[in-house]
């Protein structure tokens, strides 16, 4: 420490403890010096920073005041709006304030009457007027007690005051398939008081059918061989306290099922039975025989519907009471059969008129052991069969008493013992009776059905031999004989013809072209006959009978007659007139008056196209009874 400083401190201590002490100012002790700010201090910057801080703080304070102010305003506005909505809502007229309450059972037994109550409540502050309740029912609802089908009912409710309820009760019964639900639609039509506008309010409700008035059971074999003859059983029984009335049993057989017979016989076709009535707890059984064809492991489904007769077509089920579905699986047969008709293995076989039929029956063993004493039988059915034309090869015998061809070991050694995987063929042929135009008798929709059965003894390890059998059937349909005839005429026919006969070069002669259509055994549709006119022949536009659909195309020279439908054994005739001006190049010749005449149509029975063709007509008009052959050639 410097000496001068020490000296001053000593003097200060002495004065402090002396009796004559007096207070000294700092200035008397320490010399005053001006403080010089360091180079980093900025007075203006500090003042600016201070002002910025103050402004930020003021802004934040102002924002908080606004937030509080707006929060209070929002709260007050929300309260006002809520109060307004509450007050306004109690006065809004809306369909939402009209309630439709439906009290109905969740499930009912088929055929049992039940009650449904509809209650309409008006929760509006004004009345509703002209209220009408409509209930639209699906098929199956019936009135009580007369059981009349009711697709729709309506109930006039009139006016309904505010806070008032009106109820209506409807008694119905329901028929339908077991465990299915029926959905009904309810519509309320009304007008608000003071308004002419009609308003609708709609709702729905459903009811489940817990049991059917008729039970049905279908029994089919679970496994069948392709072509095997099988028996199906349908059992129907009443499940109602009252008689069922007339019911219909409708069977849908799988593809490949060939119906043979049924007991009792079907009422309609091969698959519909009508039961007049079923008493309470009464049962009926239907036995159906047939064969099923298909591929190995293919599933064949049979379905049965039981219900009322359809009001539009009594052959179909209207209201379904119940149904049953069962399936069979096709397995490989022990003794397999296959058939080819005129080298075709198609299910549907059509033969043109005048052609014979060759049938090959193929057999094959799929058994791991031997067969013995095999027999193959083919039974032919159909009035179109010419029994005298049947020829069986390979040792077959035609048993004419029942139209059956039989092959066994006496005529075919291959059938005595059939080893595993062995195969063979037996064949026969036949022809139909005369079916064409001019036949002694008309056979409508001619076909021949033949049933093929094979049976044999299956050798097994058991103490007895099992007899196995296989069945299949095929049919042959024969096309109709549709023909067109054409002739030229001058002296006869529906038109007055003019001009020289024989025709002269450069001079006009008119002719009548007459067309006829003849049909034999099957109805045909969309029949069209056509021909053409040469360039030197003119279409005159005269047609007989008037209104017949015959037209001429100027561009192609084609004449078209739209014959349409021609029934079995039917006939159609028409004619038109042409003009012929021969050239000198035609002298000493019989020029063509038309081209070839053709006809085509669809055979409704065989679903095939049938056709016929006739040669062109010339001036050699032999179809005119007054025609002289010397008048055919053109003269100078």
Segment holding 238, helix H or strand E: strand 228-238
Distance CA 616, CA 421 (A): 59
Would 17 be classed as within a structural domain? no
pLDDT digits (tens, 9 = 90+) for 397-427: 999 999 999 999 999 999 999 998 889 999 9
pLDDT of residue 13: 64
Distance CA 462, CA 311 (A): 58
Q: Are 337 and 229 in contact (CB under 8 A)?
A: no
Q: Indicate whether 621 and 487 sit together in one domain.
A: yes
Q: Indicate whether 557 and 623 sit together in one domain.
A: yes
Q: Indicate whether 140 and 245 sit together in one domain.
A: no
Would 420 be classed as within a structural domain? yes
Buried b (16+ CB within 10 A) or exposed e, 283-321: eeebebebbbbbeeebebebebbbbbbeeeeeeebbbbb
Check whether 631 has a pLDDT greater than 50: yes
Among candidate residues 331, 346, 368, the one where a domain is terminated: 331
Q: Are 575 and 516 in contact (CB under 8 A)?
A: no
Would 26 be classed as within a structural domain? no
Distance spanning both ends of the chain, measured CA to CA: 173
Residue written as token pair 């293919």 = 298
Would 23 be classed as within a structural domain? no
Distance CA 620, CA 593 (A): 10
pLDDT of residue 459: 75
* Alpha-carbon torsion angle 305, 311, 315, 319, nearest 10: 0
Nearest alpha carbon to residue 580 among 592, 562, 568: 592
Q: Indicate whether 574 and 615 sit together in one domain.
A: yes
Buried b (16+ CB within 10 A) or exposed e, 369-407: ebbeebbbbbbbebebbeeeebebebbbebeeeebbbbb
Give residue 88's region: left, alpha or beta (phi > 0; psi -120 to 50).
Answer: alpha
What CATH number is attached to the domain comprising 614? Answer: 2.60.40.1510
Q: Indicate whether 508 and 538 sit together in one domain.
A: yes
Quick one: average pLDDT of 211-233? 86
pLDDT digits (tens, 9 = 90+) for 15-65: 655 555 555 554 554 455 554 445 444 556 556 666 666 666 666 667 666
Would 16 be classed as within a structural domain? no
Nearest alpha carbon to residue 123 among 147, 151, 95: 95
Average pLDDT of the chain, as a whole number: 86
The number of angstroms, rounded, from the C-alpha of 429 to the middle of its chain's C-alpha atoms is: 41
Quick one: average pLDDT of 469-475? 83
Would 63 be classed as within a structural domain? no
Q: Indicate whether 393 and 322 sit together in one domain.
A: no
pLDDT of residue 308: 86
Give the up-direction half-sphere exposure of residue 179: CA atoms within 13 A in the CB hemisphere: 3
Residue written as token pair 């007991």 = 263
Distance CA 515, CA 575 (A): 6
Among candidate residues 208, 238, 264, the one where a domain is terminated: 208
Q: Indicate whether 201 and 127 sit together in one domain.
A: yes
Q: Indicate whether 612 and 503 sit together in one domain.
A: yes
Report percent pLDDT > 70 for the chain: 85
Distance CA 142, CA 133 (A): 18
pLDDT digits (tens, 9 = 90+) for 174-186: 887 778 899 999 9
Distance CA 285, CA 291 (A): 20
Q: Indicate whether 152 and 278 sit together in one domain.
A: no
Contacts of 188 (CB under 8 A, 6+ apart): 98, 100, 120, 131, 132, 133, 134, 200, 201, 202
- What's the domain count of the chain? 4
Q: Are 539 and 533 in contact (CB under 8 A)?
A: yes
Would 84 be classed as within a structural domain? no
pLDDT of residue 609: 95
Greater model confidence, 598 or 17: 598
Among candidate residues 427, 452, 478, the one where a domain is terminated: 478
Q: Indicate whether 615 and 500 sit together in one domain.
A: yes
Quick one: average pLDDT of 591-606? 96
Q: Indicate whether 501 and 624 sit together in one domain.
A: yes
Residue 461's pLDDT band (cuts 50, 70, 90):
low
Greater model confidence, 441 or 506: 506
- Alpha helices (H) along 437-588: none
Would 39 be classed as within a structural domain? no
Domain that holds residue 121: 96-208
What CATH number is attached to the domain comprising 295? Answer: 2.60.40.10
Q: Indicate whether 127 and 267 sit together in one domain.
A: no
């Amino acid at each position: 420490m410097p000496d001068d400083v020490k000296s001053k401190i000593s003097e200060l201590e002495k004065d402090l403890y002396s009796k004559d002490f007096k207070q000294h100012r700092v200035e008397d002790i320490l010399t005053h010096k001006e403080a010089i700010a360091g180079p980093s201090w900025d007075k203006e910057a500090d003042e600016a920073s201070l002002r910025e801080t103050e402004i930020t703080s003021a802004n934040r304070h102002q924002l908080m005041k606004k937030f509080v102010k707006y929060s209070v305003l929002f709260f007050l506005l929300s309260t006002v709006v809520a109060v307004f909505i509450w007050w306004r809502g109690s006065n809004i007229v809306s369909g939402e304030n009209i309630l439709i309450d439906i009290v109905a059972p969740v499930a009912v037994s088929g055929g049992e009457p039940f009650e449904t109550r509809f209650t309409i409540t008006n929760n509006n502050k004004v009345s509703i007027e002209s209220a009408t309740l409509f209930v639209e029912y699906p098929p199956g609802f019936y009135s009580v007690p007369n059981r009349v089908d009711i697709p729709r009912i309506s109930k006039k409710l009139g006016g309904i005051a505010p806070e008032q309820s009106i109820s209506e009760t409807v008694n119905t019964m329901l028929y339908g398939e077991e465990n299915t639900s029926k959905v009904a639609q309810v519509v309320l039509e009304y007008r608000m008081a003071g308004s002419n506008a009609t308003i609708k309010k709609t709702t729905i409700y459903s009811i489940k059918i817990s049991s059917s008035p008729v039970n049905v059971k279908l029994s089919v074999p679970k496994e069948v061989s392709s072509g095997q003859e099988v028996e199906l059983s349908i059992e129907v029984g009443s499940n109602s306290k009252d008689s069922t009335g007339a019911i219909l049993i409708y069977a849908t057989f799988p593809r490949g099922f060939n119906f043979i017979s049924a007991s009792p016989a079907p009422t309609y076709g091969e698959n519909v039975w009508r039961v007049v009535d079923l008493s309470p707890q009464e049962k009926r059984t239907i036995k159906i025989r047939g064969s099923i064809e298909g591929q190995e492991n293919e599933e064949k489904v049979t379905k049965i519907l039981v219900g009322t007769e359809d009001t539009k077509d009594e052959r179909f089920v209207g209201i379904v009471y119940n149904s049953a579905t069962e399936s069979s699986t096709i397995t490989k047969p022990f003794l397999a059969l296959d058939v080819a008709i005129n080298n075709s293995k198609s299910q549907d076989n059509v033969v043109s008129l005048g052609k014979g039929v060759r049938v090959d029956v193929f057999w094959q063993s799929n058994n791991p052991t031997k067969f013995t004493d095999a027999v193959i039988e083919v039974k032919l059915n159909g009035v179109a069969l010419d029994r005298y034309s049947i020829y069986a090869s390979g040792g077959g015998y035609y048993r004419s008493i029942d139209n059956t061809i039989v092959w066994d070991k006496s005529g075919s050694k291959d059938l005595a013992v059939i080893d595993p995987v062995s195969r063979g063929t037996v064949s026969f042929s036949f022809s139909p009776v005369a079916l064409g135009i001019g036949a002694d008798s008309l056979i409508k929709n001619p076909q021949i059905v033949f049933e093929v059965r094979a049976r044999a003894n299956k050798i097994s390890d058991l103490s007895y031999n099992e007899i196995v059998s296989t069945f299949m059937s095929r049919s042959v349909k024969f096309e109709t004989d549709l023909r067109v005839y054409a002739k030229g005429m001058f002296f006869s026919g529906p038109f007055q013809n003019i001009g020289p006969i024989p025709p002269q070069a450069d001079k006009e002669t008119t002719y009548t072209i007459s067309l006829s259509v003849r049909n034999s055994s099957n109805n045909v549709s969309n029949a069209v006959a056509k021909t053409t006119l040469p360039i030197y022949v003119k279409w005159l536009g005269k047609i007989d009978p008037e209104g017949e659909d015959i037209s001429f195309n100027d561009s192609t020279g084609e004449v078209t007659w739209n014959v349409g439908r021609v029934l079995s054994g039917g006939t159609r005739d028409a004619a038109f007139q042409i003009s012929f001006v021969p050239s000198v190049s035609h002298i000493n010749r019989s020029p063509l008056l038309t081209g070839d005449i053709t006809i085509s149509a669809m055979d409704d029975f065989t679903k095939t196209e049938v056709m016929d063709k006739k040669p062109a007509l010339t001036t050699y008009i032999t179809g005119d009874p007054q025609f002289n052959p010397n008048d055919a050639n053109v003269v100078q």
